[in-house]
Amino acid sequence: MTLPAPRGDAASAPLDRLANEALALWDLPPGAAARLINLSENATYLVEAPGGWRSILRVHREGYHSRRAIECELAWARALSEAGAVETAPPIPGRDGALVQSHPVPGGAGARRLVMFEHLPGTHPDERGDLVPAFRTLGEIAARTHLHAISWARPEPFERLRWDERAVFGPEPIWGDWRAAPNVTPAIAAVLERLEATLRRRLAAYGKGAGRFGLIHADMRLANLLIEGDSIRLIDFDDCGFGWFLYDFAAAVSFIEDNPALPALKAAWLDGYRRLRPLPAEEEAEIDSFVMLRRMALLAWIGSHIEAPEPQALAPHFAAVTAELAEAWLTRNG
């Protein structure tokens, strides 16, 4: 998950210190310094040195991914680039040659894992204008990554999260229990319980066949594209894992599921996708189920990350709007 970063403050000071101390793990130009640019699941830093040198440093959230899981993420991103499917950010090995580094938390217990990436040129698509062309591009890129994932011989052991119904509704959901999210009143909970039960049934019937379920980016939104002329680059594979291929569309519309333009964005995404990979009508018919599954995951995410500014801003109305979306979906599918 990637959201705009708050300004650095006292809460981020220990991470700022960790990031700058950890720069010694890499062979960097003299005078390199790290500046926080995003704080969400991970802390992301822009590393700059005199003369214009730049890189991106990711400080991983404690307990979210193992070292092996991060190595698997980097392996897939690198393989996508090497195969020409989509350009991704190359990781920079540390002085010891390892892509995944570790550094103690200043003044605390334990350590954080870190990865440094080359700084890629480009800008994010403008989300204030017509999004239809950008969503067509997202669909094409999703198809490229899915085709690659189906044919790629993964390194073993391969360890990544699974974004399926258990990830949202199971006994140990990745982002927590949606029922614990802010403003989930008894009336809202009753609607969402019906939604959960119906989603479970429909997704079980849809199944996890090899053409429908596999390795996905799982956060393929416009904020994770960089565009420079005709070059398009895909970044932030931190949530990549095993899930339904159509979940990548659901991730693309995260937080805008109630946007009136959603039907046009969905049509554009599907058009882009079908330019490269066939999508049977019976699979397309289930796409809104994945949008609702993702919406429920985001509701849980807000509840489990409520200490951060972005979830706090989203919290007042997110549960109520989710229930409205659920009622409409249940009318069509219940």
**Angle 67-82/132-151 helices, nearest 10 degrees?**
110
136 and 113 co-located in one domain:
no
109 and 225 co-located in one domain:
no
146 and 280 co-located in one domain:
yes
The per-residue pLDDT for 247 is 98
Residue at 235 is within a domain = yes
103 and 144 co-located in one domain:
no
322 and 197 co-located in one domain:
yes
Q: Which residues pair with 35 in a beta bridge?
A: 46
H/E stretch holding 43 reads: strand 43-49
Q: Kindly report, residue by residue over 184-238, the tens digit of the pLDDT.
A: 999 999 999 999 999 999 999 999 999 999 999 999 999 999 999 989 999 999 9
Rounded distance between C-alpha atoms, residue 250 and residue 139, angstroms: 11
**CATH at residue 97:** 3.30.200.20
Which residue segment(s) compose the domain that 250 sits in? 132-333
CA 196 to chain centre: 22
Q: Domain end: 90, 118, 146, which one?
A: 118
112 and 235 co-located in one domain:
no
The token pair at 238 is: 């931190």
The C-alpha R_g of the chain, in whole angstroms, comes to 20
242 and 316 co-located in one domain:
yes
Whether residue 22 is predicted with pLDDT greater than 70 in this model: the reply is yes
Rounded distance between C-alpha atoms, residue 191 and residue 186, angstroms: 9
Q: Which residues pair with 56 in a beta bridge?
A: 46, 117
110 and 140 co-located in one domain:
no
User: Number of folded domains in the chain?
Assistant: 2
Residue at 2 is within a domain = no
Residue at 171 is within a domain = yes
Residue at 316 is within a domain = yes
Q: Span 255-282, mean pLDDT? A: 97
163 and 53 co-located in one domain:
no
Q: Span 53-81, mean pLDDT? A: 96
pTM for this prediction: 0.94
Residue at 309 is within a domain = yes
Q: Kindly report, residue by residue over 186-200, the tens digit of the pLDDT.
A: 999 999 999 999 999
User: What single string gives the DSSP state of each residue in 221-242?
Assistant: -GGGEEEETTEEEE---TT-EE
